[in-house]
Amino acid sequence: AQSVAQPEDQVNVAEGNPLTVKCTYSVSGNPYLFWYVQYPNRGLQFLLKYITGDNLVKGSYGFEAEFNKSQTSFHLKKPSALVSDSALYFCAVRDRRGFQKLVFGTGTRLLVSP
Amino acid sequence: DGGITQSPKYLFRKEGQNVTLSCEQNLNHDAMYWYRQDPGQGLRLIYYSQIVNDFQKGDIAEGYSVSREKKESFPLTVTSAQKNPTAFYLCASRADTYNEQFFGPGTRLTVL
């Protein structure tokens, strides 16, 4: 069965510092991996995805993520955090077989302090 | 929230009532989904539909029902059999196999 772990409920970082939000996954075969962001009382917004190819994926708003197959990880990163990045971040994985259901992690709250 | 609308934004239900949440998309996407979001639990899949007139149960379908009579529409009914329906409900759609899901703005349902 597919699963996603986001080991940190909350990440605190100062504005201007680099940020990392961690994600590890378990899936049979090669995965499709996604990051979404959610602002309060809003739907999820797509940030980036890994389907195949380069292990470093660049996405929206200056975010990037690195796919590491050996460590089954897909950590979200940004070189310089903004206060406006404060939100809830979800990692998701999809199996390439069957209907390809998306399985989400429990989310990590990012707080960027001024 | 790009092309997916959900209504109403807030919904209050008395115990024993059925309520229907609307989801409409103008993205011409084939696949549509309903998720439930509870604090600290991430998103859980309720139902999904790959094409018109076809839908499948997700992980937590008990107490819910759906229909897919039109490509653009995928309404969710929360029935009185759902014992703990207070949650944030999100609808999503996807274009094809390789693409991400797009989410609507959500409906917050509260049982009084």
Q: What is the pLDDT of residues B52-81, one digit of tens each?
A: 999 999 999 999 999 999 999 999 999 988
What token pair was written down for A87? Answer: 């939100």
Closest-CA residue of A relative to B4 is A43
Cβ of B103 within 8 Å of Cβ of A43? The answer is: yes
- One-letter amino acid at A70 equals S
Cβ of A107 within 8 Å of Cβ of B42? The answer is: yes
DSSP 8-state symbol, A107: -
pLDDT at residue number B40? 79
Percentage of chain A beyond pLDDT 90 is: 76
Q: What is the pLDDT of residues A19-70, one digit of tens each?
A: 999 999 998 888 899 999 999 888 999 999 998 889 999 999 999 999 999 9
For B103, residues 6+ apart whose C-beta sits below 8 A from its C-beta are A36, A43, A44, A45, B1, B4, B90, B91, B92
Q: Is the dihedral of CA A31, A36, A41, A42 positive or negative?
A: negative
Residues A69-88, mean pLDDT to the nearest whole number: 96
Cβ of B42 within 8 Å of Cβ of A106? The answer is: yes
For residue A74, list chain B residues with Cβ-Cβ distance below 8 A: none
pLDDT at residue number B86? 94
Do B76 and B20 touch, CB atoms closer than 8 A?
yes
Q: Is the dihedral of CA B94, B100, B102, B107 positive or negative?
A: positive
For B43, residues 6+ apart whose C-beta sits below 8 A from its C-beta are A44, A90, A104, B35, B36, B37, B90
Among residues A74, A70, A62, A69, the alpha carbon closest in space to that of A18 is found at A62
Chain B nearest-CA distance from A100, in A, is 8
Cβ of A45 within 8 Å of Cβ of B108? The answer is: no
Do B93 and B33 touch, CB atoms closer than 8 A?
yes
How many angstroms separate the first and last alpha carbons of chain B? 28
Kindly report the backbone phi and psi dihedral angles of residue A85, in degrees, each rounded to the nearest multiple of 5, phi listed first: -80, -10
pLDDT at residue number B112? 85
pLDDT at residue number B42? 86
Cβ of B42 within 8 Å of Cβ of A44? The answer is: no
Confidence of residue A95 (pLDDT cuts 50, 70, 90): confident
Coil, helix or strand at residue B52: coil
What token pair was written down for A34? Answer: 């996604």
For residue A107, list chain B residues with Cβ-Cβ distance below 8 A: 40, 42
Asked which of A47-61, A84-98, B6-20, B46-60 is least confident by mean pLDDT, the reply is: A84-98
For residue B42, list chain A residues with Cβ-Cβ distance below 8 A: 90, 104-107
Answer with the residue of higher pLDDT: A51 or A87. A87
Cα B29 off chain centre by = 15
For residue B100, list chain A residues with Cβ-Cβ distance below 8 A: 34, 46, 49
For residue B103, list chain A residues with Cβ-Cβ distance below 8 A: 36, 43-45
Confidence of residue B7 (pLDDT cuts 50, 70, 90): very high
Nearest beta carbon to residue A99 from set B41, B50, B88: B50
Q: How far is CA A42 from CA A19, A45, A85, B88, in A?
A: 23, 9, 15, 10
Q: What is the pLDDT of residues A8-17, one digit of tens each?
A: 999 999 999 9
Chain A nearest-CA distance from B81, in A, is 25
pLDDT at residue number A98? 58
Computed over every residue of chain B, the mean pLDDT equals 92
